[in-house]
């Protein structure tokens, strides 16, 4: 896309919104000239990915923060495309940890729903699922909860931020995608201590993790396994985004 914005050094070809730093870490490791700053209470990172200018904002967990972070991203970097990225819970028996879930629509538990113009073809044999994403107000931790949500809403994955990002992009008339990697599936419940890993700051996460270990010493093993799995999932997400980012840029935004 050729616009006056492309002459602005702050302009990004693609903007990405994630809740947690680990969700975008593997992608940023593949970028050149990475810079970071804080604005409006959010952490921003920017870099060049194979000639494509990226801007990433870390929103923190939840709808309200994701909405404000997206608005801040659009104001600061005027991206041609916005992608909501990060981890999600798989809601189908076929989805496994590490699979990719791309949204062709997003709904929440309050009756809000919007469609997403998505031309990415599904390939379940290769772990690529395309379908509705569901947003909830709280982390969905148990298999029983996920199965109930899947039956009620017909969604393939659940997260807490993508609808907020989509709504802002709709209002601001910016093209949008939601690309999620399945970080937990229907094989087992997440441990109760998962909440300690979702705190908004590193200090809060560290304090919550220490408290969880004191309450249940065995939780340290569970949290370590979650961390290792999260790193792997972030790598798979980055690999898939490689193709998406290249295609968006080649199409001219």
For residue range 115-137, what is the model confidence (pLDDT) as tens digits? 999 999 999 999 999 999 999 99
What is the overall mean pLDDT for the chain?
A: 87
Taking each continuous run of H as one helix and of E as one strand, the counts in the chain are 6, 10
For residue range 164-207, what is the model confidence (pLDDT) as tens digits? 999 999 999 999 999 999 999 999 888 775 655 554 444 344 33
User: Does the pLDDT at position 155 exceed 90?
Assistant: yes
Report the alpha-carbon distance of residue 241 to residue 18 in Å, rounded.
13
Domains of the chain: 9-189+234-250 (3.40.50.1580)
- What pLDDT does residue 27 have? 96
For the entire predicted model, the pTM comes to: 0.87
Q: DSSP H helical segments within the chain, as ranges? A: 21-29, 63-77, 143-153, 162-172, 202-215, 219-250
């Amino acid at each position: 896309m050729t616009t006056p914005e492309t002459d602005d050094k702050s302009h990004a070809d693609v903007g990405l919104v994630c809740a947690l730093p680990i969700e975008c870490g593997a992608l940023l490791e593949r970028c050149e000239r990475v810079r970071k700053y804080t604005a409006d209470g959010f952490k921003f990172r920017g870099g060049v990915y194979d000639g494509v200018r990226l801007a990433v904002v870390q929103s923190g967990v939840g709808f309200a923060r994701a909405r404000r972070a997206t608005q801040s991203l659009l104001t600061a970097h005027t991206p041609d495309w916005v992608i909501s990225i990060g981890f999600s819970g798989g809601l189908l028996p076929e989805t496994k940890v590490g699979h990719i879930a791309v949204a062709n629509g997003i709904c929440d538990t309050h009756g809000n729903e919007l469609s997403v113009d998505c031309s990415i073809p599904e390939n379940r044999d290769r772990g690529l699922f395309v379908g509705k994403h569901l947003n909830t107000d709280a982390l969905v931790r148990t298999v029983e909860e996920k199965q109930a949500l899947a039956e009620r809403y017909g969604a393939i994955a659940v997260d807490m931020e993508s609808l907020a990002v989509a709504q802002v992009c709709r209002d601001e008339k910016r093209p949008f995608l939601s690309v999620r990697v399945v970080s937990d599936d229907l094989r087992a419940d997440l441990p109760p201590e998962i909440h300690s890993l979702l705190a908004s700051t590193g200090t809060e996460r560290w304090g919550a993790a220490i408290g969880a270990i004191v309450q249940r010493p065995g939780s340290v093993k569970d949290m370590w396994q979650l961390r290792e799995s999260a790193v792997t999932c972030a790598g798979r997400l980055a690999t898939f985004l490689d193709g998406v980012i290249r295609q968006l840029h080649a199409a001219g935004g």
